[in-house]
């Protein structure tokens, strides 16, 4: 069993590291810009408010200077005016959970994604990405994650390479590491300090950290001004067998986001439930209320489960996503290879993961909690870098969010989680990250897939 898991993951790593993703391309620089850019049309501002019909958005000097109804404010005669007709003006989208490589770094802006959070990467890779001078999304990152001494990551590399990519937190430089191995609270604090020194915005705590080390890492992150994201394992990974910390313990430790709805299956089981059986609404309510009380953002990455549970639908849906009509043969072959390796048992576990995540999304939203949008690309089956955030929005709607709330998950709520109050909403003084789509996503969330304009910091980028 271990060999098959190892082969699957090594295949995934090979695909992540080596495959180039062809997508709508952006030129290396923006179009020539006037001093003032005016957008007219329907506005969804990212706050969760109802759409503003016949809206007016004025951009200048890279910021939003005004937002209101058409006719409510004059603008210079020399301004460039874009009347979007029946289209919709949105904040730039944010993907809260990606694993970047240079080969598909160009896939995000054409999909309307102007900011990404990288959720576990070698610092050396991140430095390469940051040195790219072409138009690219804004990048926040965790660097190498923290995991326990039995971390599964050690099994995914040949023995000769383990020490290069996975090492104890206090052992040498961390530039090439994928995981820092942590066993004690002292090691946890040292690992967090090293990430802070390398410019990380978040710390990622993984599933096999001992509880005391987990708590120490979370506390040290708060002390250093870093935020904490966590992946605690799911049913289809090691969520019930290898994980040490469950979602309730993570919430008590003060994490800022829980990824993949991970750790909830273990918490559900520890509360007396069986996550593979029909769900107990009382336990779901208990878990959701704890999430809301903790002011923690649930980032469910429903896309990761969907491709496993419904591979035929996910494959057919690719063509409707930004970049989905130009997937190179090697990447498509890799998608197919991953899908073929699933068994009825693994699909059953993924289905239970999806059902649990959907129930939590629905209840957390009903209680007024925070839902964020992330994809985990390119992990999972048919999980297309860039374009798949639009599938994630549709899956959030299927789980019970109104379309405007799903958009908020990838805009206002996402920016709040990142600690970037000038992003994610169309408000006066905010950075002018804007996306224009055809149609009305408040009525049909799939309209977000029809990207017409991408504006980053006030610059209109040409989509080809």
* Digit-coded pLDDT (tens) for 134-181: 889 999 999 999 999 988 888 878 777 888 888 888 777 888 988 999
Q: Is the pLDDT of residue 241 over 90?
A: no
Query: What is the pLDDT averaged over residues 387-398?
Result: 98
In 305-423, where do the E strands start and end?
370-371
More confident of the two residues 450 and 131:
450
For the chain, give the mean pLDDT: 90
DSSP strand pairing (434-437 vs 451-456): antiparallel
Strand, coil or helix: what is 344?
helix
pLDDT in tens, 35-46: 899 999 999 999
Of 148, 141, 149, the closest CA to residue 124 belongs to: 141
**259 backbone dihedrals φ, ψ, rounded to 5°:** -90, 145
**5 contacts 441 by C-beta, under 8 angstroms:** no
pTM comes to 0.92
Place of tokens 């798949």: 388
Q: Does the pLDDT of residue 331 top 50, yes or no? A: yes
Extended strands (E) in 235-289? 257-259
Query: What distance in Å separates the CA atoms of residue 268 and residue 341, rounded to the nearest whole number?
Result: 28
DSSP readout, 194-214? HHHHTT-SEEEE-TT--HHHH
Q: Is the dihedral of CA 12, 16, 19, 20 positive or negative?
A: positive
Domains present along the chain, CATH in parentheses? 2-23+93-423 (3.20.20.140), 31-92+424-464 (2.30.40.10)
pLDDT band, very low/low/confident/very high, at 6 (cuts 50, 70, 90)? very low
Structure tokens at 269: 């089981």
Tokens coding 369:
């909690």
The predicted model gives 437-450 an average pLDDT of 98
C-alpha distances (whole Å) from 272 to each of 43, 216, 280, 367, 394 are: 46, 28, 10, 23, 32
- H-state helical runs in 281-341: 281-293, 302-309, 311-317, 329-340
CB–CB of 261/355 below 8 Å? Answer: no
Strand 257-259 to 227-230 pairing: parallel
> Does position 31 have pLDDT exceeding 90, yes or no?
no
State the residue for tokens 């896309």.
303
Cβ pair 130, 407 in contact under 8 A = no
């Amino acid at each position: 069993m271990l060999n098959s898991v190892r082969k699957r993951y090594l295949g995934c790593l090979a695909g992540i590291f080596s495959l180039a993703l062809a997508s709508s391309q952006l030129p290396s620089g923006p179009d020539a810009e006037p001093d003032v850019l005016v957008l007219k049309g329907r506005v969804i501002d990212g706050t969760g408010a109802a759409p503003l019909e016949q809206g007016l958005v004025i951009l200048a000097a890279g910021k939003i200077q005004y937002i209101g109804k058409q006719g409510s404010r004059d603008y210079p005669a020399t301004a460039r005016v874009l009347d979007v007709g029946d289209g919709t003006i949105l904040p730039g989208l944010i993907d809260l959970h990606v694993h970047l490589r240079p080969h598909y770094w160009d896939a995000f802006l054409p999909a309307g994604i102007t900011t990404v959070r990288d959720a576990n990467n070698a610092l050396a890779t991140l430095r390469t990405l940051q040195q790219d001078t072409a138009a690219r999304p804004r990048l926040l990152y965790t660097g190498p994650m923290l995991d326990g001494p039995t971390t599964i990551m050690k099994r995914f590399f040949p023995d000769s390479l383990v020490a290069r990519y996975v090492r104890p937190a206090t052992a040498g430089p961390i530039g090439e590491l994928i995981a820092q191995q942590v066993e004690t609270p002292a090691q946890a604090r040292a690992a967090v300090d090293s990430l802070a020194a390398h410019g990380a915005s978040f710390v990622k705590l993984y599933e096999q950290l001992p509880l005391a080390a987990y708590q120490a890492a979370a506390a040290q992150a708060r002390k250093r001004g870093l935020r904490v994201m966590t992946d605690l394992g799911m049913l289809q990974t090691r969520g019930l067998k290898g994980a040490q910390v469950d979602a309730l313990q993570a919430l008590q430790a003060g994490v800022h986001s829980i990824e993949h709805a991970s750790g909830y299956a273990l918490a559900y089981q520890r509360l007396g439930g069986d996550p593979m059986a029909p769900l107990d609404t009382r336990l779901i309510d208990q878990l959701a209320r704890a999430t809301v009380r903790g002011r923690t953002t649930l980032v469910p990455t429903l896309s990761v489960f969907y491709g496993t549970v419904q591979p035929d639908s996910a494959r057919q849906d690719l063509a409707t996503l930004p970049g989905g009509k130009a997937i190179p043969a090697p990447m498509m072959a890799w998608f197919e290879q991953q899908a073929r390796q699933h068994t009825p048992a693994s699909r059953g576990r993924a289905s239970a993961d999806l059902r649990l995540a959907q129930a939590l999304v629905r209840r957390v939203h009903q209680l007024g909690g925070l839902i964020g949008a992330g994809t985990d690309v390119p992990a999972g089956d048919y999980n297309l870098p860039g374009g798949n955030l639009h599938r994630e929005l549709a899956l959030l709607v299927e789980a019970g969010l109104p379309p405007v709330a799903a958009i908020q998950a990838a805009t206002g709520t996402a920016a709040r989680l990142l600690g970037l109050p000038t992003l994610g909403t169309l408000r006066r003084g905010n950075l002018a990250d804007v996306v224009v789509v055809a149609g009305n996503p408040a009525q049909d969330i799939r309209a977000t897939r029809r990207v017409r304009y991408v504006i980053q910091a006030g610059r209109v980028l040409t989509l080809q």
